[in-house]
Chain A
Amino acid sequence: MNISYNWLKELIDLELSPQETAEKLTLIGLEVEEVTSHGNKLEGVVVGEVLDVNEHSNADRLVVCQVDIGTEEVQIVCGADNVAAGQKVPVATVGSALPPKNEGDDPFTIREAKLRGEESKGMICAEDELQLGDDHSGIMVLDEELKAGTPLYEAIDLYQDSIIEIEITPNRPDATCHLGVARDLAAALDLELNKPFSTEFDDQAPLNEIDIEIKAPEKCHRYVGKMVKDVTIEESPAWLKNKLEAIGVRPVNNVVDITNYVMFELGQPLHAFDADTIKGNKIAVKDFEEEITFETLDHVERKCSAGTLFICDAEEPVAIAGVMGGVDSEVSDSTTNVLIESAYFNPGDIRKTAKEQVLQSDSSYRFERGIDPQLQRIAAERAAELIANVANGQIVDACTDVHPQKTEATELPLRKSYVNKLLGTDFTTDEINSILNGLEFELLNQDDDVLTYKIPTFRPDLEREVDLIEEVGRLFDYNNIPTPEHGKFISPEPLTDWEQLVSQAKEVAKGMRFREIYSNSLMPDKDAKLLGELDNMIHTLNPISTDMTTLRPSLLYGFLTSVAYNFNRKVNQVRFFEIGNVFERSESGTYHKGIKEETNILFGLAGFKTIEHWKTEAEHYDVFDLKAPVRSFLQQLGVYQAITASANSNNRLCYTYDGTELGHLYEVDEEMREKYDFELPAFVAEFSLTKIHKARQKITQKGYEAVSKFPSFEFDFAVIVDRSVKAGTLLKSIEETAGESLKELDVFDVFEGESLGENKKSIAFRLSFLDKNKTLTIKDVEPIINKVLKVLEKEYSAKLRS
């Protein structure tokens, strides 16, 4: 909202500059967005006397003038028809700068020039060139009495102001006007608030001319009607136009301008009707059970849903209550009698209508936030007085005040001790009282610790003791509250296991040269379909776009889109990890019934492991490039030894703990890569950190074990098996059979060839045995090997390869 600095100065004796005022307002909770200057002083533009006008020898349309500008006599070439000797005119002297036509452009600087051969030192200006009006029909002719050389800003009233743009928080309806802002400043700076209007009135009989009735008292709590007769509708006087223009309001005519003026002064939206257009001399405030079509002032036909509140005359609606008036009843040039409407409408109803119509007027903006329910009569009388004044009208003494729902000022107790407890201050009762009195909170009663205040109706936001404490705090300025001299020592709690796991997982991933990515948790249905049944996933009911409908059931989508994004930009070595939440339907749910939400970690490789380099050949990643760091990851988290990895197909490995699936490792298949439009191979391992966390709590971590003083004994053998037998199965069998002295087991060769027989392969194992108490020899190991070979032969028809 725009606040005029000049206007504020009329309400309080403000000694701060506009900038200082803005700073102060921000610090008391009326946050200033920007301070801008309005109007231009037109430095260097002076009154000139035209001494002589001659024809230009080389141009029909130009004349050559001799002009007295006070300090000297200069020659100026001018193109206007209306220039004549003896006139007093505004002259922009050489070196002066005129305001630019378009905001943001550079100002136009006047220089000495030759125009078609004639010298010209300055410029005689038209109204629009000085931005004093729109007139470009000719030069501006000034009062004859003015003295040549007088600066223009002294000769005529050049209006200047500073405009302070405030962002009003929704809890401060009182600050949507100059009076409210001035009140806050007065309280903060300890100044008197000058109110240039009356607040006390005699009771008046209702208007004879028009009958006013409220038929929807829930939606309209009060309706004050006041009339001014025999007005002359014309352009507003300069003082009024200047004030409105400065805050960005376009002047219309004297009556409408006054209604706006009073709204920006007091915060009460007003509407002026041409009283003679009100049919049947009757105003009814009511809503309808059906949809109503209504043409508003801005000539838009609006469909208003049932229940919208209207101001109606005896026949039809004349205004959408609180939002906008209608075409037929607006004040026009021919209006002579004006009915001023000053009402209180229920904020919720106005908000609904304004939203439905996508129409936020200055008036609905205020009604929505809740205006002062005791302001209507004051504002109506204020407007009537000003209208009578600027439009030469006659105020009708009578005043209709229909007031079915009265709002009285509330009382609030405030404990001094609680103020100090919450703010950390040491205020006395007087100090608190002086701050709150400045805001027009009347101290009703003082009882030891408890102060009871009457809360004015313009502050509907103050409902509780704590709200009053905020008033004390903000006006005192939080920056002035002392910080404690001695801080408390707090013994912190240990970090949770979960937090430790997550940060460890991140560190490990980074240490293994994975780059962390953050991807979108919302994804398109069409992509979600590739990951599983849509019915098993969670969807937003009101997505921004079809691209963001489904909550990710896994981190795969984010990885694939990021891979594609980078491949498209010629970055084809990708090594990513991500930690994030994933969602799917489940009967029981994690936090909420029906919704499973877990934290996953994804490791992904795509494209080239090595590039063409003098040292290496270009080589794609393969699945073992991922399986190795995944093993390391699980080892570092201390869960590897308890996890079983089994291949349920040739390109998918499933990691389980005690029957629970913890994660998968696989190659992204060609079909999927095609959907994301890339060809290079990609590998993914995704684990549920939530499940790893649960598993880790059950797995006993191995303690320290002294290193054996004896060397280990290594033994190699190879077996020939059917190609269908998985290495993993054999490894598991060897491990189980060999017993405790087997410390390490690995595969050092895999071979297939015709020499082995059809559909056969050879796998060579290296076993490493170790005993704590002695050096092992072949005698110790041989029986174990024999046992292993027997089992392998029995279970998998494995033949020892000699």
Chain B
Amino acid sequence: MLDDIEALKKEIENYTISTEEELEAFRLEFLSRKGKIQSMFSRMSEVPNEQKAQVGKAMNEVKNFAQETFDAAQKKLEREETADLKATDDISLPAPPYAPGSFHPLTQTMEEMKNIFYRLGFSIADGPEVEDDFHNFTALNFPPNHPARDEQDTFFVRKDDDPDVDDLVMRTHTSPVQIRLMQKQEPPIRTIMPGRVYRNEAVSPKSYFLFHQVEALYIDTDVSIAELKETLISFVKLMFGKDVKYRLRPGFFPFTEPSLEMDIWWEPAHKKEGKWLEILGSGMVDPNVLKAVDIDPEKYTGFAWGMGVERIAMLRHQIDDIRVFYENDVRFLKQFN
């Protein structure tokens, strides 16, 4: 008898209930009046008295087990029924578009430069984009007949025959901000000047009539080429990675003497051969510039350097046409999310 009870328990265990029909079949087979459990109880009379207690307990256990199995299966089926309600209750459906905001790639490059300079202890200054001849040229030691002063190269906003009225131009570099800063602040000065500048140039994939620069200026009692070199090297390592290969070579600018340019070795991913690429111009601030802002060149020396933001952004993202920066095509911008 006990073996039969055990066999019945196995049978219940192995019964699969996945539909309403099977659930009903299970009830009829085991739990109904004519079911297997009931008929098991009706055989109680056959059990010898001394075993009655033991068998009765086992029978009750199997009855409860059958009932629990039925209840659990019924609940599960009910849940499944409600879970299967709507086609839209499908977590794999795509969420509606939610485009992020983004910074322009030029802002991204410029911010990165600024952050490097902040780490090197520089602060930041800005000035107007419409600038007078004094700040843009004269104070920066541009000789009167320098080609940059020509209409071919520079946008003029005001030209006056009266020599006391300074010409106004769209600034051709951010260096006039250096002049403004030195005019109002005593050294030490350790500042960068980012901003938009203008050149009267034909538009092509390589040049645009406006672009952005970041310049740096450091004036103190004891600044030399050695410090300039150290700062330049720190900068390129932070900007391009500490294994960057670089070189310095002489350059020529009106506002620095000596003047230097820096190249980095550039190996674009898709090209076989690397080459030296000029990334910035620099030098020791020309004594004439210091004199123009009443700083004593015997007491103070300093360095300045500048670089084009577009040029570096193009390099890093392998962009070959400068004009894409100003088209504001969302398909371009969203690549810089």
Partner of A517, one of B121, B248, B333: B333
A498's nearest neighbour on chain B, judged by CB, is B126
Task: Give Cα A169–Cα B145 distance, bound, in whole angstroms.
Answer: 16
Contact residues, A532-589 vs B (CB, 8 A): 538-544, 548, 551, 558, 562, 565-566, 569, 571, 573-577, 580-581, 583
Most buried by A among B151, B168, B203: B168
Tell me whether B247 is interfacial, beta carbon within 8 Å: yes
Complex interface: chain A residues within 8 A of B122 (CB): 492
Q: Are B257 and A470 in contact (CB under 8 A)?
A: yes
Partner of A478, one of B96, B121, B249: B249
Q: Which of B97, B101, B130, B226 contacts A573 (CB 8 A)?
A: B97
Q: Mark B135-162, 1 if CB is under 8 A from A, else 0.
A: 0000000000100000100011111000
Contact among B126, B132, B224 with A423 in the assembled complex (CB-CB below 8 Å): B224
CB distance from A605 to the nearest CB of B (A): 12
CB < 8 Å neighbour of B225 from A423, A540, A543? A423
**Out of A495, A513, A558, A580, which one reaches B124, CB within 8 Å?**
A495
Contacts A522-B210, A592-B168, A611-B97 given; does A495 touch B226 at CB 8 Å? no
Closest to A423 in B: B225
Q: Which of B27-35, B44-52, B65-73, B320-328 contacts A (4 or more CB under 8 A)?
A: B320-328
Partner of B326, one of A348, A519, A551: A519
* B328: chain A residues within 8 A (beta carbon): 517-519, 558, 562, 565-566, 576
Question: Residue of B at shortest CB range from A591?
Answer: B128
CA–CA, A495 and B119, complex, Å:
12
**Which residue among B129, B159, B222, B301 has the maximum number of chain A CB atoms within 10 Å of its CB?**
B129
Given known A169-B252, A515-B333, A518-B326, contact A478–B99 (CB-CB < 8 A): no
B155:A492 contact, CB within 8 angstroms: no
Is A493 a contact partner of B123 (Cβ separation < 8 A)? Answer: yes
User: How far apart sit A503 and B333, CA to CA, in the bound complex (Å)?
Assistant: 19
Q: Does B190 contact A (CB under 8 A)?
A: yes
B116 CB to closest chain A CB (Å) equals 13
CB distance from A129 to the nearest CB of B (A): 32
Report A770 CB to chain B, min CB distance, Å.
34
Q: Which of A423, A478, A513, A610 has the most chain B CB within a 10 Å cutoff? A: A478
Question: Nearest-CB distance from B137 to chain A (Å)?
Answer: 15
Complex alpha-carbon distance, A124 and B103, angstroms: 67
Asked, given contacts A509-B101, A544-B200, A548-B209, whether A423 binds B226 with beta carbons under 8 Å apart, the answer is yes
CA distance A481 to B225 in the complex (A): 8
In the complex, the answer to whether B225 meets A516 with C-beta atoms within 8 Å is no
Among B127, B131, B200, B330, the one with the most A-chain Cβ atoms within 10 Å of its Cβ is B330
Q: How far is the CB of A481 from chain B (nearest CB, A)?
A: 6
B329 touches A569 (CB 8 A): yes
Q: How far apart are the CA atoms of A577 and B328 in the complex, in Å?
A: 11
Take A573-B99, A613-B97 as given contacts and tell me if A170 and B252 are in contact as well, using a CB distance cutoff of 8 Å. yes
Is A10 interfacial (CB-CB < 8 Å)? no
Q: Please, which residues of chain B bring their CB within 8 A of the CB of A613?
A: 96-97
In the complex, the chain A residue whose C-beta lies closest to that of B122 is A492
Stretch at the interface among B4-12, B15-23, B227-235: B227-235
A457 within 8 A of B: no
A12 at the B interface (CB under 8 A):
no
The answer, among A469, A492, A551, A566, for a CB contact under 8 Å with B190, is A492
In angstroms, Cα B98 to Cα A580, docked, is 27
- Chain B residues closer than 8 Å to A580, beta-carbon distance: 196
Is A543 a contact partner of B155 (Cβ separation < 8 A)? yes
Task: Give the distance to chain B from A507, nearest Cβ to Cβ, in Å.
Answer: 9
How far does the Cβ of A87 sit from chain B's closest Cβ, in whole Å? 46
* Interface size class, chain A: 35 or more
Contact code string A489-514 (vs B, CB < 8 Å = 1, else 0): 01111111011000100100111111
Does B230 lie within 8 Å of A565, measured CB to CB?
no
Does A146 interact with chain B (Cβ within 8 Å)? no
Cβ contacts under 8 Å, A544 to chain B: 200-203, 209
Q: A518-B325, A597-B130 are in contact. Are A542 and B252 (CB under 8 A)?
A: no
Contact B102 A29 (CB under 8 A): no
- B123: which of A495, A573, A595 is its contact (CB, 8 Å)? A495
CA distance A518 to B309 in the complex (A): 13
Query: When chains A and B are docked, how far (Å) is the Cα of A280 from the Cα of B325?
Result: 65
A196 at interface by CB-CB < 8 Å: no
For chain B, residues 102 to 130, give those with C-beta under 8 angstroms from any C-beta of chain A: 102-104, 106-107, 111, 118, 121-130
Measured CB to CB, the nearest residue on chain B to A613 is: B96
B 52-87 binary contact with A (CB < 8 Å = 1; else 0): 000000000000000000000000000000000000
23 A-B Cβ contacts within 8 A? Answer: A27-B249, A29-B250, A348-B145, A422-B258, A464-B287, A466-B284, A478-B225, A483-B226, A490-B188, A499-B124, A514-B101, A515-B334, A516-B101, A516-B333, A518-B104, A520-B326, A542-B151, A548-B209, A551-B130, A558-B328, A573-B97, A591-B127, A592-B132
Given A473-B258, A538-B157, A566-B328, 12 new contacts (CB under 8 A):
A31-B249, A421-B222, A424-B224, A466-B258, A469-B258, A484-B227, A499-B124, A515-B334, A538-B130, A542-B200, A591-B128, A595-B130
A-B pairs with lowest CB-CB distance, top 4:
A424-B226, A29-B250, A424-B224, A470-B258
